[in-house]
Amino acid sequence: MATLVRPAPRVELTAMPRPNVETGLLSWIMTVDHKRIGILYGASAFILFLIGGIEALIMRMQLAQPNGKVVDADTFNQLFTMHGTTMIFLVIMPLSVAFFNYIVPLQIGARDVAFPRLNALSYWIFLAGAIFINLGWVIGQAPDAGWFGYANLTERPYAMGMNTDFWVLGLQILGIASILGSMNFFVTIINLRAPGMRMMRMPVFCWMTIVTNILMLLAFPVITIALTFLLFDRYFGTHFFVPSGGGDPQLWVHLFWIFGHPEVYILILPAMGMVSQVLPTFARKPLFGTPFVIYSGIAIAFLSFGVWAHHMFAQGLGPTADAAFAFSTMAIAVPTGVKIFNWIGTLYKGHLWFTTSMLFAIGFIAMFIIGGLSGVMHASPPADLQQNNTYFIVAHFHYVLFGGSMLGIFAGIYYWYPKAIGRLMSEKLGKWHFWLTMIGFNLTFFPMHWVGLDGMPRRVYTYPDGMGWNDYNFAETIGAFIIALSVLIFIYNAVWSMRYGQIAGNDPWDARTLEWSIPSPPPHYNFAEIPIVASMDDWWRQKYGAGHEGPPGTGAHPPAMAGAAEDVHHADEHAGEAHVHIHMPDPSYFPIMVGIGVFIMALGMITNYWVSLPGFVVVMAGVYGWCFEPVNAPEPGAAH
Amino acid sequence: MAVSAAEAPPPVIQHPPVAADRTSTGLNHRKVLMWAFLGSDCMFFASLISNFQVQRGRSLNPPYPKDIINIPFTSVSTFALLMSSLMMVLALAAIQRGDVRGMKIWILACAFLGALFLGGQFYEFTGFVQSGLKLSTNLFGASFFILTGFHGTHVTIGVIWLISVYYAAARGRITQKDSLSVELAGLYWHFVDIVWVAIFTIVYLLGT
Amino acid sequence: MANVHLATEEHHPPASGYVKVAFVLVVFTAIEVAVYYIEPLRVLDLLAPILLVLSVLKFCGIGGWYMHLKMDHKLFFVFFAAGVCLAGTVIIALMSLFGELTESGKPIQSISTALQLEAVKTPGALAYEDQLGGSPIGNAELGRQFWVLRGCTGCHIAPGIPSGGQIGPNQTHFSQRPTIAGGLLANTPANVELWLKDPPAVKPGTLMPNLSLTDEQIKDLTAFLYSLP
């Protein structure tokens, strides 16, 4: 039987030993376990999803009728800014990271990520940023210059309040969290794959993870610098983006979108990866053209750095630049299309099992196609001149981000919830969730294509009567409330299933990848023994032998979802138990300490610079404590 | 609460357990991390240098670069930083041979030259400020100070790191088998030097 | 912190090898500084290529030998090269989008500005210039270029110029207006020049700041304003 061994710590430079808690609130605060950190990310992101959703509902109430009086223009500015910033940075990204955290080590056959404490730090810094950026609401000065904060609207004297300061500093903090996390996952996937798991045998979700993290590594520095310039303009009197000082507002726009475009691929690639795992499982067929799905992901990431100025077609870049970026934007549709055809190919002639997860995955394909089509329409600069800054754009990005990323993420939640919790979610409630989402979502966002082309601008807090937009807006508001209802059903399902859901066992879906070979929920150490991998979808091979990838139904039909905990598919093996020492990293105080220090430093920037000083001290103390705290055991090259 | 699977008995071990220290590539985690970080850091400096290039010639008022940049002085600082890289790599070579004392000497020399570089920067900046070039004076001031300031911060962190390595070695915590610690500090330090190569050329030599 | 080299470390060059590399780096730097002072090279536009080539060589020297990229696992080279290549691409892309790769000697302007200037050669302006033959007031064409470059469109709309703000008055039919400065001054070239020199001095509380314009710029702007249809 495997035991967890904690050898006595060596005498170190500090007297403080590592904490040794396994239960209770403190254990969550000091955890370095990737599964717990994944749950922390997921839970936080979901709460922020509700906040962002409420912001959206208030906007929709304001827009339900012409000359609405629900909120004033100023508040509306704050609402759309925070809704966008929240959904992008505080919901979709951390939900994706939640899955990276929980699933990637399980899929590559590892016991944790490469740097567990760094992983925890990324979470705490993320939380600090999330709280910081929402602090504005508390004083009624939430960020209000749009989620992409164009200069020089964000400069003094146009943005005199603290709104933009919350935004700039909050995003800086979130950027740090993202960069730290992406370095961690990068090393994890490069270095901690099980023996025999060559890159091309790695699950597609892990491929999309590493591609996303490379994008984060390379794109976030650009926004960090742009925000630094803006910070200096606002605080230290520079004129990077201020024309009267010789600066150029367009520089902000370029720098922002050089980050911003890879960012939207960061938002969609993880969901694409999840869907690439869900579809084969429930089609009872391997993913069609797996190498092409992988190569397309890489191509998309590569090209994503070359298309940014398609967000700037209305800025007067000139015909040469417009044409070049139009070309590259249309080019990037090609690998995206390849993926879509591969997913459809996976479904074709599959033995389809319509679980909720599968429904969401299919919904993802359909909605993403619609969003992609409107995207290709934007790729043409002349067409974009009409569409830009109208609701047509709003329709496009909601189709790809909600209909795409969020539906993909829901597919992932329904798929992997049994693994994390040990119980299945209710299929009945799940289907209600799905269909209400589809109805509500399409009712909300499809009419926006029309009103947009009809000329309704985005980010307007109201519109006059007699434009012909009234009915559409009213319908959109109804749709928004239907979405809200569906989310409530989901919450109920998730909570109810924790207690009353059918016990899942190791492998309720008869799936293909390694995470299904271990118990649900996984033990602290994930794998009692690190598997030796011989092919892609190695768990399927272990169950059914090589060469059983053919037509569906070959000896593999959906297992009766019997309540009995399914055993691992190895033979009864209680004979010959070996005594395995598994060293797992101990919890640590220092990640949360550094996170708190970062938060205080940011607070100092907007209140009184002297406040930043203790924040800095806390950060430095945390970093030094971290460097010198006792490691479990001297393990070269392994996590510590 | 989640169903806690009583940690199920693991399957029988069908092959020797995988060594706890193996990595898929055979490369050390921290080294891979450092290179990933350096790749990312390239983009930081790319944004700063792009800004500098884009803002060239657009300052609305003096002092302009040619009025204020002192090539001979900066050449000396550049030389100091270049030599510090040599010290660094000699320190690494020493520790890889097991020569801890040699490593300590070279790394201290490296830190000293780095500090000399920083001193030169500090002197240069105060001179500029006295000549009327501050952050808020004009675009050149803003772009110049933020780029070189960012670089200088990197150097400062590097010097602190090097001194920490020296300190750890003095306490006997770094021996031949720990040469990776020195190597990682070295990678960071050489990167900082490489960035200065770019800055010296673009900002100083080509900027005037 | 105990750790072990997991990769089989490739053969390390002896210390003397590093010193040789250092020597080469110093020589290259000396050449760079020397080249900087050689005027003919600057005139021939050779300064930038020489310096850039030498810098790249130094870059590769430090990266290849000091950072051991030559001797280490290829993967590290791939990671670093990806970052460097992307960095270089971003720098070049931004420079070209902002017109920094245009011929040397031309005033630096972004492509969009250059195109705007092409687009706004109004018949009125050209006729005015023709009439006055390089007017005693100033050069309207230069005035229009300066209007765009200096960012006057941030607050003002002027006919024939694609974009403009609405903070200050619209300058259409400027020459036909009886007064300027919100009614404070009669509309004469001298008064326009007075206003442009220091608006807050003429009308305290005005939103238009003192832009520190030279007399030459003021004359050209005045000519431009009077040329507007």
Closest CA to B82 of A492, C30, A488, C152: C30
- Cβ separation B9–A247 shorter than 8 A: no
Tokens matching residue A529:
């023994």
Whether residue C103 has pLDDT greater than 60: no
Whether residue A531 has pLDDT greater than 70: yes
Say whether residue C94 is in contact with chain A using an 8 A CB cutoff. yes
Q: Determine the pLDDT at residue C211.
A: 86
- Name the more confident of C200 and C112: C200
Does domain C111-227 bear CATH number 3.40.50.720? no
The answer to whether residue A605 is domain-embedded is: no
Say whether residue C115 is in contact with chain A using an 8 A CB cutoff. yes
Q: Determine the pLDDT at residue C43.
A: 73
Q: Which segments of A454-469 does DSSP mark as H helices, in order? A: none
- Cβ separation A637–C6 shorter than 8 A: yes
Whether residue B106 has pLDDT greater than 60: yes
Contacts of C114 in chain A (CB under 8 A): 318
Q: Which of B29, B31, B143 to mutate to test the interface with C (most CBs of C within 10 A)?
A: B31
Whether residue C114 has pLDDT greater than 80: no
Q: Determine the pLDDT at residue B62.
A: 79
Tokens matching residue A258:
């050089």
- Cβ separation C97–A309 shorter than 8 A: yes
Whether residue B3 has pLDDT greater than 50: no
Q: Which of A231-245, B57-71, C7-21, C158-172 has the highest mean pLDDT?
A: A231-245
For the segment B108-130, the average pLDDT, to the nearest whole number, is 95
What is the DSSP-derived secondary structure letter of residue A311? G
Distance to chain A for C3, nearest Cα, Å: 4
Of A244, A318, A631, the CB nearest to C112: A318
Contacts of the segment C89-94: beta carbons below 8 A, 24+ positions apart: C89/A305, C90/A222, C90/A258, C90/A305, C90/B43, C90/B46, C90/B47, C90/B50, C91/B46, C91/B49, C91/B50, C91/B53, C94/A254, C94/B50, C94/B53, C94/B54
- C-alpha distances out from residue B201 to A368, A530, B53, B206, C39, Å: 47, 51, 12, 6, 17
Q: How many CB pairs under 8 A join A and C?
A: 54
- Cβ separation B205–C36 shorter than 8 A: yes
Whether residue C25 has pLDDT greater than 70: yes
- Cβ separation A246–B25 shorter than 8 A: no
Whether residue A158 has pLDDT greater than 70: yes
What is the DSSP-derived secondary structure letter of residue B199? H
For the segment A510-523, the average pLDDT, to the nearest whole number, is 94
Distance to chain B for C209, nearest Cα, Å: 14
- Name the more confident of A229 and C223: A229
Q: Of A68-77, A293-302, A557-566, which gets the smallest average pLDDT? A: A557-566
Whether residue A109 has pLDDT greater than 70: yes
- Cβ separation B54–C95 shorter than 8 A: yes
Q: Determine the pLDDT at residue C169.
A: 87
Is residue C185 very low, low, confident or very high in pLDDT (cuts 50, 70, 90)?
confident
Mean pLDDT across chain A, nearest whole number?
89
Q: Of A59-63, A116-120, B30-34, C192-196, which gets the smallest average pLDDT? A: C192-196
Q: Determine the pLDDT at residue C48.
A: 85
Is residue C13 very low, low, confident or very high in pLDDT (cuts 50, 70, 90)?
low
Q: Of A617-631, B156-170, C22-36, C167-181, which gets the smallest average pLDDT? A: C167-181
Of B2, B9, B135, the CB nearest to A237: B135
Whether residue C2 has pLDDT greater than 60: no
Angle at C134 between CA C129 and CA C140, to 5 degrees: 55
Mean pLDDT across chain C, nearest whole number?
78
- Cβ separation C79–B83 shorter than 8 A: no
Q: Of A74-88, A315-329, B31-45, which gets the smallest average pLDDT? A: A315-329
C partners (3+ CB pairs within 8 A) are A, B
- Cβ separation C87–B35 shorter than 8 A: no
Taking only Cα atoms into account, the Rg of chain C, rounded to an integer number of angstroms, comes to 28
Query: How many structural domains comprise chain A?
Result: 1
Please tell me the distance from the alpha carbon of residue C102 to that of residue A247, in angstroms, as a whole number: 19
For the segment C48-70, the average pLDDT, to the nearest whole number, is 91
Distance to chain A for C6, nearest Cα, Å: 7
* pLDDT digit string, tens, across residues A271-288: 999 999 999 999 999 999
Closest CA to A205 of A45, A47, A419: A419
Q: Determine the pLDDT at residue A572.
A: 33
Whether residue A5 has pLDDT greater than 90: no
Q: Determine the pLDDT at residue A17.
A: 65
Tokens matching residue B90:
């000699």
Residue-range domain boundaries for chain C: 15-97, 111-227
Closest residue of chain B to A3, computed from CA coordinates: B7
For the segment B50-67, the average pLDDT, to the nearest whole number, is 85
Q: Of A357-371, A623-637, B39-53, B111-125, which gets the smallest average pLDDT? A: A623-637
Say whether residue C34 is in contact with chain B using an 8 A CB cutoff. no
Of A244, A315, A636, the CB nearest to C4: A636
* pLDDT digit string, tens, across residues A435-486: 999 999 999 999 999 999 999 999 999 999 999 999 999 999 999 999 999 9
Q: Determine the pLDDT at residue B9.
A: 53
How many CB atoms neighbour CB A574 within 10 A? Answer: 9
Of A190, A243, A316, the CB nearest to C162: A316
Tokens matching residue A630:
């006792």
Is residue C210 very low, low, confident or very high in pLDDT (cuts 50, 70, 90)?
confident
List the domain range (segments joined by +) for residue A68: 3-592
- A43: domain CATH number is 1.20.210.10
For the segment A186-199, the average pLDDT, to the nearest whole number, is 94
Q: Determine the pLDDT at residue C113.
A: 52
Whether residue C124 has pLDDT greater than 50: no
**What is the helix (H) or strand (E) element at residue C199, kind and residue range?**
helix C199-202
Peptide bond into A531 cis (omega under 30): no
Encoded amino acid at A112, one letter:
D
For the segment A220-245, the average pLDDT, to the nearest whole number, is 92
**What is the helix (H) or strand (E) element at residue A603, kind and residue range?**
helix A590-606
Closest residue of chain B to C53, computed from CA coordinates: B201
Q: Determine the pLDDT at residue C117.
A: 52
Say whether residue C97 is in contact with chain A using an 8 A CB cutoff. yes
Q: Determine the pLDDT at residue B95.
A: 93
Is residue C9 very low, low, confident or very high in pLDDT (cuts 50, 70, 90)?
very low
Q: Determine the pLDDT at residue B203.
A: 92
- Cβ separation C83–A254 shorter than 8 A: no
For the segment A47-59, the average pLDDT, to the nearest whole number, is 97
Q: Determine the pLDDT at residue C39.
A: 81
Please tell me the distance from the alpha carbon of residue A293 to that of residue A500, in angstroms, as a whole number: 38
For the segment A259-263, the average pLDDT, to the nearest whole number, is 97
Q: Which segments of C62-151 does DSSP mark as H helices, in order? A: 74-97, 111-119, 123-132, 140-149
The answer to whether residue A186 is domain-embedded is: yes
- Name the more confident of A106 and A320: A106
For the segment A381-400, the average pLDDT, to the nearest whole number, is 95
Closest CA to A418 of A501, A317, A526: A501
- Cβ separation B4–A422 shorter than 8 A: yes
Contacts of C80 in chain B (CB under 8 A): 35, 38-39, 42
A partners (3+ CB pairs within 8 A) are B, C
- Among C residues 64-103, those touching chain B with beta carbons less than 8 Å apart: 65-68, 73, 75-76, 79-80, 82-84, 86-88, 90-91, 94-95, 98, 100
Q: Determine the pLDDT at residue B104.
A: 94
B partners (3+ CB pairs within 8 A) are A, C
Q: What number is the ipTM of this complex? A: 0.90
Q: Of A181-185, B26-30, C123-127, which gets the smallest average pLDDT? A: C123-127
- C-alpha distances out from residue A260 to A79, A174, A223, A523, Å: 20, 14, 8, 39
Say whether residue C126 is in contact with chain A using an 8 A CB cutoff. no
Q: Which of A186, A239, A572 to mutate to test the interface with B (most CBs of B within 10 A)?
A: A239
Is residue B7 very low, low, confident or very high in pLDDT (cuts 50, 70, 90)?
low
Q: Which residues of A428-452 are buried (b: 16+ CB within 10 A; e: fewer)?
A: ebbebbbebbbebbbbbbbbbbebb
Q: What is the pTM of this model?
A: 0.83
Check: CB of residue A359 under 8 Å from CB of residue A334: no
Distance to chain A for B15, nearest Cα, Å: 9
Contacts of C75 in chain B (CB under 8 A): 25, 27, 32
The answer to whether residue A176 is domain-embedded is: yes
According to DSSP, the residues that pair with A3 across neighbouring strands are A581
- pLDDT-above-90 percentage for chain A: 79
Is residue C189 very low, low, confident or very high in pLDDT (cuts 50, 70, 90)?
confident
Q: Which residues of A244-278 are buried (b: 16+ CB within 10 A; e: fewer)?
A: ebbbbbbbbbbbbbbbbbbbbbbbbbbbbbbbbbb
Please tell me the distance from the alpha carbon of residue A347 to that of residue A350, in angstroms, as a whole number: 5
Which domains occur in chain B, in start order? 71-205 (1.20.120.80)
The alpha carbon dihedral of A545, A549, A552, A554 has a sign of negative
Closest CA to A596 of A634, A559, A623: A623
* pLDDT digit string, tens, across residues A560-619: 443 333 333 333 333 334 445 677 888 888 999 999 999 999 999 888 889 999 999 999
DSSP string, B27-71: S-HHHHHHHHHHHHHHHHHHHHHHHHHHTTT--SSSPPHHHH--H
Check: CB of residue A213 under 8 Å from CB of residue A186: yes
Q: Determine the pLDDT at residue A255.
A: 96
Say whether residue C51 is in contact with chain B using an 8 A CB cutoff. yes
- Name the more confident of A500 and A586: A500
- Cβ separation B47–A114 shorter than 8 A: no
Please tell me the distance from the alpha carbon of residue C68 to that of residue A165, in angstroms, as a whole number: 43
The answer to whether residue A237 is domain-embedded is: yes
Closest residue of chain A to B30, computed from CA coordinates: A637
Say whether residue B156 is in contact with chain A using an 8 A CB cutoff. no
Is residue C137 very low, low, confident or very high in pLDDT (cuts 50, 70, 90)?
low
Contacts of A576 in chain B (CB under 8 A): 12-13
Whether residue B11 has pLDDT greater than 90: no
- Cβ separation B24–A248 shorter than 8 A: no
Closest CA to A116 of A15, A35, A176, A6: A35
The answer to whether residue A604 is domain-embedded is: no
Q: How many CB pairs under 8 A join A and B?
A: 184
Q: Determine the pLDDT at residue C190.
A: 79
Q: Determine the pLDDT at residue A575.
A: 35
Q: Which of A280-289, B16-25, B56-65 has the highest mean pLDDT?
A: A280-289
Q: Determine the pLDDT at residue B87.
A: 95
